């Protein structure tokens, strides 16, 4: 992936001066070979997932997350490219239909933080994860692939939900589902771990936190956050942070008894 990035930077397709030179042709040929190798690797990892196996690569990424925190921040790296290659998301063709000052547009959690989420929250097969504002659904999918947990994405945009469902279906992820709903009216009664990558703010966040507090009154729940919503959620007196509370890392909160 690193070599491909460099080749792309040094030999852009649009660079007409170099087009046709021997060096340019060799670089393009090398790109072709590396891209073919990546595609083959993604195909074999997909087949493992389709058979219900957690690929070794994912196990190793999880072990690394258990040993050390990933790089902070919301930048993307080679891992995001790899996860996209493996999961093969569809791009929504329809423009988003829901927007408003308190609703945050789609931006995926960088893949390294999804592995950190699983490690920090100690998610296991018996858990039910709910991703509030799940976008194209890669958080529920990676969590379920790695742990066997049931994982549900709640997303208000119909086109994102349609793409997520197709992607999960092609991977045979029977324990992953997507609910097309506004998080304010979703049923949280089976959730045990709730994840928010700053999907909304203000009165929407307030309403959702009140619903989650009602759930916490009847059973313990874990709330995991990433991004600026961490600061607002850290103010909730019924929650206790069990990791460092940093907006650019995963934070895990437990509900108080």
Ligand X SMILES: C[S@@+](CC[C@H](N)C(=O)[O-])C[C@H]1O[C@@H](n2cnc3c(N)ncnc32)[C@H](O)[C@@H]1O
Site residues for ligand X per CB under 6 A: 103-104, 106-109, 131, 133-135, 138-139, 154-157, 160, 182-184, 197-200, 204
Give whichever of 11 and 226 is closer to ligand X, judged by the CB atom. Answer: 226
Give whichever of 11 and 225 is closer to ligand X, judged by the CB atom. Answer: 225
Between CA 7 and CA 4 the distance in angstroms is: 5
Nearest distance in Å: CB 139, ligand X: 5
How far is residue 137 from each of residues 91, 104, 172, 250, measured CA to CA in Å? 12, 15, 14, 18
For residue 247, give the DSSP letter. T
Query: Which of 152, 77, 65 shows the shortest CA–CA distance to 109?
Result: 77
- Reading the block at residue 26, the tokens are 């060799």
Between CA 257 and CA 255 the distance in angstroms is: 6
- Are 245 and 251 in contact by the 8 Å Cβ rule? The answer is yes
Nearest distance in Å: CB 220, ligand X: 23
Q: Where are the beta strands (DSSP E) in 6-139?
A: 128-132
Residue nearest to ligand X (CB): 133
Give whichever of 92 and 221 is closer to ligand X, judged by the CB atom. Answer: 92
Q: Where are the beta strands (DSSP E) in the chain?
A: 128-132, 150-155, 176-180, 193-197, 222-226, 239-241, 251-255
Per the DSSP assignment, residues forming a β-bridge with 178 are: 153
Give whichever of 198 and 249 is closer to ligand X, judged by the CB atom. Answer: 198
- Are 147 and 127 in contact by the 8 Å Cβ rule? The answer is yes
Between CA 115 and CA 32 the distance in angstroms is: 30
Nearest distance in Å: CB 105, ligand X: 6
Give whichever of 161 and 239 is closer to ligand X, judged by the CB atom. Answer: 161
Give whichever of 127 and 131 is closer to ligand X, judged by the CB atom. Answer: 131
Nearest distance in Å: CB 48, ligand X: 23
Between CA 242 and CA 257 the distance in angstroms is: 14
Give whichever of 42 and 106 is closer to ligand X, judged by the CB atom. Answer: 106
Nearest distance in Å: CB 20, ligand X: 42
Name the residue with tokens 């997303």: 155
Nearest distance in Å: CB 99, ligand X: 8
Nearest distance in Å: CB 207, ligand X: 9
């Amino acid at each position: 992936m690193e070599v491909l990035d460099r080749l792309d930077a040094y030999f852009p397709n649009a660079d007409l001066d170099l087009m046709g030179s021997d060096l340019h042709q060799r670089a393009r040929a090398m790109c072709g070979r590396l891209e073919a190798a990546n595609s083959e690797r993604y195909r074999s990892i997909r087949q493992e997932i389709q058979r219900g196996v957690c690929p070794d690569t994912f196990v190793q990424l999880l072990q690394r997350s258990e040993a050390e925190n990933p790089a902070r921040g919301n930048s993307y790296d080679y891992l995001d490219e790899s996860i996209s290659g493996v999961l093969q998301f569809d791009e929504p063709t329809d423009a988003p239909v829901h927007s408003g000052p308190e609703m945050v547009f789609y931006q995926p959690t960088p893949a390294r933080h999804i592995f950190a989420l699983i490690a920090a929250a100690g998610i296991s097969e018996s858990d039910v994860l709910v991703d509030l504002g799940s976008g194209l659904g890669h958080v529920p999918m990676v969590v379920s692939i790695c742990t066997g947990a049931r994982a549900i994405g709640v997303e208000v945009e119909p086109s994102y939900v349609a793409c997520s469902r197709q992607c999960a279906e092609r991977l045979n992820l029977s324990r992953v589902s997507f609910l097309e709903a506004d998080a304010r009216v979703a049923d949280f009664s089976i959730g045990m771990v709730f994840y928010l990558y700053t999907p909304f703010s203000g009165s929407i966040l307030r309403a959702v936190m009140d619903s989650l507090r009602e759930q916490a009154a009847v059973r313990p729940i874990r709330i995991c956050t990433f991004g600026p919503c961490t600061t607002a959620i850290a103010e909730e007196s019924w929650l206790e942070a069990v990791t460092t509370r940093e907006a650019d890392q995963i934070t895990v909160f437990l509900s108080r008894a």
